[in-house]
Structure 1
Amino acid sequence: MGVLADYFTADCDSSARRALSGGPGAAGLPYVDCTGWLDELDTLVAELGGRDLSELGATETVVTDGEAAGVERMASGAVEALAAVDDARLREYAEEELLDEFEVERVTALRDLARTAVRLNQGMYLWMCP
């Protein structure tokens, strides 16, 4: 059994905390399901943008349940860098990494989620739960 992982947007950390018990879908927050596929968005962003991880900033824990579930806020530098990735770079990255269609859809959905976060001045978060 794997770890559930969803990236989502929320207007503030208080709203993001609502996702802890059942995930962002249960909390009515927009999200991208990355279960079994991606739980380190900053690494993907660094690869897409040709940047060093240290340039993007660090994620911060917003809340945990004391066991394994938790919500982390993505660094604003990582969210802004992801939002800035254009379609041509996404296609190029997909070819370089030999991504299948599912993975291309997920990367595109994550980029679009980041764009929404930037446009609405919201945070982007990761919810994980075993």
Structure 2
Amino acid sequence: MGVLVDYFTAESDRSAERALSGGPAHVKLPYVDCKGWIDEPGDLVAELSGRDISEFGDCEVVVDDGEVSGVERVMPETVTALAAVEDARLREYAEDELLDEYEVERITALRELAREAVRLNHGMYRWMCA
């Protein structure tokens, strides 16, 4: 059994906590299903932006059940940098990394989720369940 990972937006940590038991889809929050494919958003954003990984903090725990599920907040600087990635850079990254179409679609969807979080001044979160 693998780890399920969804990235989602919520207006506050309190709102994000509602996703703990069933994930963001369960509580009807906007999300991107990453199924463990993108585990560390800071790594991806550093590669896409050409910036050093040290510029992006680790996700912070918002809530966890102590067993299998948890919700973490993606650092605002990571969300802002992801939202700023241009289409041309996404295409270049996809070509350099020899990504499949579904991988490009996931990264694009994640970038769009970050843009929506920035636009609405919401947080971006990671839900994980083992």
- Quickly name the TM-score band, shorter chain normalised: over 0.9
Q: Which residue does the alignment assign to 1:89?
A: 89
1:68: how far off?
A: 2.4
Cross-structure match for 2:66:
66
SS in 2 for 1:115: helix
Deviation, 1:57, is: 2.3
Equivalent runs, 1:99-118 vs 2, <5 Å: 99-118=99-118
**Distance in 1 (alpha carbons) for counterparts of 2:102 and 2:36:** 12
What fraction of aligned residue pairs are identical, expressed as a percent? 71
Give, in angstroms, the shift of residue 58 of structure 1.
Answer: 2.7
- What residue in structure 2 maps to residue 38 of structure 1? 38
Q: Structure 2: give runs of 5+ residues left out of the alignment.
A: none
State the 4+ residue runs in structure 1 displaced beyond 3 angstroms: none
Q: Which residue of 2 aligns with 1:80?
A: 80
Amino acid of the residue matched to residue 17 of structure 1?
E
- Matched residue of 1:85: which SS? coil
Deviation for aligned residue 1:36: 3.6
Shift of 1:67: 1.0
Which residue identity does 1:9 align to in structure 2?
T
Per the TM alignment, residue 16 of structure 1 is displaced from its structure 2 partner at its CA by 0.2
Q: Which consecutive residues of structure 1, in runs of 5 or more, have no partner in the other structure?
A: none
Match for residue 53 of structure 2? 53
Q: What secondary structure does 1:44 align onto?
A: helix
Q: Which amino acid aligns with 1:35?
A: K
How far apart in 2 are the matches of 1:6 and 1:22? 11
When the two structures are superposed, what TM-score results if normalisation uses the length of structure 2?
0.98
Amino acid corresponding to residue 80 of structure 1 in structure 2: T
CA RMSD, 1 decimal: 0.7
Could you tell me how far 1:52 is from its partner in structure 2? 1.2
